[in-house]
Structure 1
């Protein structure tokens, strides 16, 4: 890992940017103490939807979450809502 002073970084920013683009990490210092790092940008992660679709197709998975009943989001019955919960067991 390379260290450069802020003054040197200011004067050689384009050169440092090229080195970082090539994969190098550069530490910028002030009075000999690190204050920041110049690092290559990493591709952001996330869900690979195309990969998931290919995985499901390859294994014959048609419905990932199983069967969802038609009344899934219907309101709960009132008697269920007013019934108190059983006491919490003590350990």
Structure 2
């Protein structure tokens, strides 16, 4: 939806609700797009971030469980010579 800045002044509450719902809201100036209203990203608290990182760690550990860490398919030693320099 495109709305001129002048019209948006009287409809701001409605336009914000629409943007929060995911609708594209573009404010125009002289019939040219000037700004777009978008829903703000949710900011996680420290506790929520910690819980998310814990879930990621558990998921990563589960994906790597049972795999041999010395598996040649996982090794990149072939990229280096005996002195540890790229070969």
TM range (shorter): 0.5 to 0.7
Q: Secondary structure at the residue paired with 2:41?
A: coil
Larger radius of gyration: 1
**Which TM-score applies when normalising by structure 1?**
0.52
Tell me the distance in 2 between the aligned counterparts of 1:11 and 1:52.
45
Deviations 1:54-85 (A, max 9, x none): 12443459xxxxxxxxxxxxxxxxxxxxxxxx
Structure 2 partner of 1:8: 7
Structure 1 partner of 2:70: none
Q: Unaligned stretches of 5+ in structure 2? A: 44-48, 67-87
- CA RMSD across the alignment: 2.7
- CA offset at residue 20 of structure 1? 0.8
Q: Unaligned stretches of 5+ in structure 1? A: 62-91
Structure 2 partner of 1:24: 23
**Which TM-score applies when normalising by structure 2?**
0.54
Do structure 1's residue 50 and structure 2's residue 49 form an aligned pair? no
Structure 1 partner of 2:39: 40
